[in-house]
Chain A
């Protein structure tokens, strides 16, 4: 276990103590913080490790939300529904990955972006199953009071974040992570030396989708109502990229920090400038790209504590 991974686990553990300090608002922000951190960590598998600019986060978030919502409406218990959507998301994403990941660069970005549109239109038109544009009501999970419910969903999301973080650490230390790094650096060359890059990329895509889908399921059960324009919002695809850029591409600790910082900024902007919040977000993105292209994690090495370089 490296020092960076330990720092990440400690950071996540600190988040768990949030309900001790605040009321319902802290719980809501905490749940969203965990959700964003899951997005950023998941995106990092395919975007940071393998270097494929994926815009498919919103597609799998919405897919997971709808899968869980429909299962819950059919009377399936929450835990089974959530695990079911995790498995479905993984299988679907791996299957789609074998096709889509043959594309590189811009073309992959566009294909993954269009995946969101396709899923949204499909859900919009399958009115019998999903309620279409009217949205889907999801039965209340338990009748044990608002605050108890909020605490439950906070810990559910937090638990998922912990699982995601552990899986990402295992992946980054494993042969899979090594292979993905090779693919990012030079895919043709890694193919040449006998790496099954299609398999590696597809598994990475599946892993990056399944936790996002599960988060979508928990989100759906949490807010009790979903509709296509809400859960298939393209911003869900873009935000993880901004978080990862903010924190530092490829580093799990960096992207989680990025997610938390991003959420903090979003809350402040949203609260003070509701009418122009997306414009402010745009300015923020541009500033970030122009002045801090390697993210917050890059601040560490040069500025705060200087280490003697081994020659």
Chain B
């Protein structure tokens, strides 16, 4: 029964990991920017959920609806005003710029919310379902379902809408997209806004499950890295595959050799993948 429980846990956690990573993957794939501020966006989303629940009594499900446009606007402005100025510079410059932004946002959060760990506790607790010997907490299940829904929504957006097709076109071939009349700078801003919105929503979901602190942002960022590399860049299905693989490896690893080594294991997996299969599980070779 232990094996089934580990498997179920990994499935639940994997969808959440995918949700964390998908915005990061979108930005990396489309803009070719490693967005180091992603982890702080997630934590900011978690604080939004926490303060809305604590001070205004708004349930996290509704916060999800508020968070998406707020974060989209924030990300859009950030890209339009700052990142678009250096978008054609080498890797190092964009990387360092997002690092600077991350320092500012993270410092602001430590300043306003302090570094104490906080926890969002729903006041009638949702309890847990047990089927045979497998136990799953309901809040975790709902968070997973929401994460899957968000992922599906992004997939539909990229597949069906005009903006989505333009984003995919820029990702496939920037120059050709320009020739087809796509306004690349505004697509960049929209993609970055979408990434931020997904990060904010992921943060709201994380607030239900994990403790909240500005110090956790680097852990989220690390997960996003690993998932992206495992699954392959820029595609929705890749992020899902990467998230599930990471959760599975972490789950099995912590059961067999102890939870202390879970992080090491995931990073060793990352390095192996980077060297052996840098395009990821579902990525295509020679496609950047």
Contact = CB atoms under 8 A, between A and B. Distances in A.
A189 interface: no
Contacts of A47: 92
Task: Say whether chain A's binding surface is mostly helix, strand, loop, or mixed.
Answer: helix
A47 B95 CA distance: 14
Interface stretch (B123-131, B165-173, B266-274): B266-274
Given A278-B107, A286-B82, A241 B264 contact: no
Contacts of A109: 34, 91, 95
Contacts, number: 112
A279 interface: yes
A275 B106 CA distance: 12
Contacts of A124: 260
Interface string B84-100: 01100101110111011
A53 B95 contact: yes
Nearest to A242: B96
Interface in B113-161: none
Interface in A268-309: 275-279, 281-286, 289-290, 293
Contacts of B107: 276-279, 282
Given A234-B218, A289-B96, A282 B261 contact: no
Nearest to A125: B260
B interface bracket (residues with beta carbon within 8 Å of A):
35 or more
B267 A117 contact: yes
B91 A53 contact: yes
A107 B91 contact: no
A276 B111 contact: yes
A289 B96 CA distance: 8
Nearest to B269: A114
Interface residues of A, number: 40
A99 interface: yes
B73 interface: no
B280 to A, nearest CB: 11
Nearest to A99: B275
B103 A53 contact: no
A276 B260 CA distance: 33
Given A117-B267, A278-B106, A110 B225 contact: yes
A118 B268 contact: yes
A111 interface: yes
Interface string A84-116: 000000000000000110110111011101110
A218 interface: no
Given A103-B278, A106-B28, A289 B91 contact: no
A286 B86 CA distance: 11
Contact of A293 (B82, B93, B226): B93
B3 interface: no
A282 B101 contact: yes
B108 A121 contact: no
Interface string A204-238: 00000000000000000000000000000010001
Interface of B: 28, 32, 34, 82, 85-86, 89, 91-93, 95-97, 99-104, 106-108, 111, 218, 222, 225-226, 229, 260-261, 263-264, 267-268, 270-271, 274-275, 278
18 contacts: A103-B274, A106-B91, A107-B274, A109-B95, A110-B270, A114-B222, A117-B222, A121-B261, A241-B96, A277-B107, A281-B100, A282-B102, A285-B99, A286-B104, A289-B86, A289-B96, A289-B97, A290-B85
